[in-house]
Structure 1
Amino acid sequence: MNPAKSITLYHLMIRNEKMIGIKFLPDKLIQGLVKGLPNPKWSKEHNMAYIPNTKTNLSIIFNTFKGIVWINYNRFLLNKPINTHNDKVDVEWFRKRNPIPEYRLCPEEYLLKLELKRYANSTVRTYVSFFEMFINHYKDKELSAINESDIRAFLQKLVHRNVSNSYLNQCINAIKFYYEVVLGMPNRFYEIERPRKESKLPTVISKEEVLSIIGSTNNIKHKCIIKLLYSSGLRRSELLNLKLADVDSKRMLIRVQGSKGNKDRHTLLSQTVLEDLRIYFREWKPREYLFEGQRGGRYSAQSVLKIVKEAAIKAKIKQSVTPHVLRHSFATHLLESGVDLRQIQVLLGHGSSKTTEIYTHVATNTFRNIKNPLD
């Protein structure tokens, strides 16, 4: 096989039919091999050859080029694992909605794929919302006929509305999910531009401010929630998913199961938090989840946010404080006290050390040893 020669396979939709696109640099050997494929044609729009997308044809391509030129499948095959740790996905609400005149509802195959892949319920809501906004922008057009130019035009309208980069990325993900996952054409819209990543520093409050927030909370349940968010560096969703058995008082650890990226991990359990949790347990008697609503079941995310915000206002903290600010503060305070960055990465459940390194930009000990030129 000549490593200098290669072809790249793409997913194409031509005249509402799935095609295998074959892109290559001008080369007589490759051109000759392509001509030997079943009914090859050339697309001026995509600047590549193509043949009908069937399992047989994919096998023929492999056998034709095997050992002769390199076949790049990166933009054709999809090897992402199906989620296995998420709670039961609830898409029935979307299925049971009453039809709205002149409003295009999310296709059943879209809902089914979200369900089968067991996407988190929050992701399901986000994807359905964005995809319905998109398909209603092109009411009179078959979804399979929508091309890259149409998607760019739609995204351009969102940009003109001054939506955030996060909003734009979520919209792109919802659209790509249909064409690339539901229709089975991975990386179909690989070339769609994404907004540049924003590099914002995390919001952090001081230890004294954290203690002031805790001190402003009289309700034992609320106090335990705030203390756990800070002392264990938990995400709000992780706190809400904690079950009674996840508190390991013998090893002084909190077990976090199925967090972001379907990862399990352990994080710290504070002795003072454990003492408060014992008081809380005797008073509230939760049955399954560590924090439950009045009628049982998982406590609501909105309630946790309200508890943190109201306690911060009561403590007269100038900055806006959220559960994630407490998590940021946990990581930063550990770094300032000399804890290794790799250990902090494990406690936070970050997949990459680059994500954790952001805290070096807000830790005060980063700047203490630097002499100011004015002094």
Structure 2
Amino acid sequence: MKGDGERMAPSPSAFPEPAPALPQERLAHEHEKALAALRERVKELDCLYAITRLSQRRDLSLDEVLSGVAEIVARAWQHPEVACARVVVGGRTFATPGFRRPVSRQSSPVVVDGERIGRIDVGYREERPACDEGPFLREERVLLDAVAEHLARIIASRQAEERLHELSRELIKAQETERQRIARELHDNVAQELSMLRMGLEALPDLMEKSGEQAAGQARDLSARLGGAIASLRDLSYDLLPPALDQLGLAETAFRLCEGFSARHGIEVAFFADGMQGVRTSFETHINLYRILQEALANARRHSGAKLVTVKLIASYPDIILRVEDDGAGFDPDIRQGQALAEKRMGLWSMRERARLLGGRLTIRSKPGAGTRIVAEAPLAGTP
């Protein structure tokens, strides 16, 4: 047993031995590796920031933005000296020089509203050492997917702006066209009839002095002309805003529209309404569904050569459904909509937009030789 004044020597394991020093070369290698990774991350952030700045330039078209994105992406990859990039959207290609034959390539789809509209590709024109995905880094795959998502947002935003500008122009054009139509209707029909009535009334006193029978015939003719002028004014005002929508409701007004359409154009229209009794909907729902029906009937007359049009108006909680079906020539909806946009005709688009504004949707089913079916669905505003 040791005495009090005697100290026990520490065991060799009481203190851990210091770790051996790393060789200077290894430290330098690790330092350079960390710097290289940091530089790559900075390049990736610069890439996304540059694309954002480019997309915000209103002096550039969408094509110029997409071309610029390809150049920005090519500079952001690990080996920019041999990198090339390409953006493909809607059949159009925007590529950096030398993309035709990349030795290795990675791609990411560009998806807008669930629909694939294109892709973005990055490639190397020469062989490079293998990494996580061929010669590409794992972070580069993440970056490419992020760029594709960013591109989708840019494209959707630019397309929406272009559609808005186009629709603004078309709205102004439609307003002017409608004003011209009203002016022609008033001048060619109502104004001329009223002028003839005035002339007839001015001549009536002299005619009464000469022959009462002729004067009576003239009065009857003037009365008929006045009735025609009143009917023209009524039809014109009814087209602008059907008063029966407030007074009689959507079902009765739609029935009268179908009845009048059939009488004027000789096309049979079978109208059915179900579940509409007591249904409360807003005037906005009434007028937009009424306009959709108007446009569908007009299309059946102008384009389909239909002999029979079937119209069904059904309240099926939580929706109100308008279905217009004809036995006409039919068409390819994709081709027709492309032609309509090229020719500045907005009928199909206006029907879709009216349904969308109501929080509903419009579907068109048609093919050549098999007729057309248009279905508009809008939510019921109220309790059935």
TM-score (norm 2): 0.21
TM-score by length of 1: 0.22
Q: Larger relative CO (CA 8 A, sep 6+): 1 or 2?
A: 1
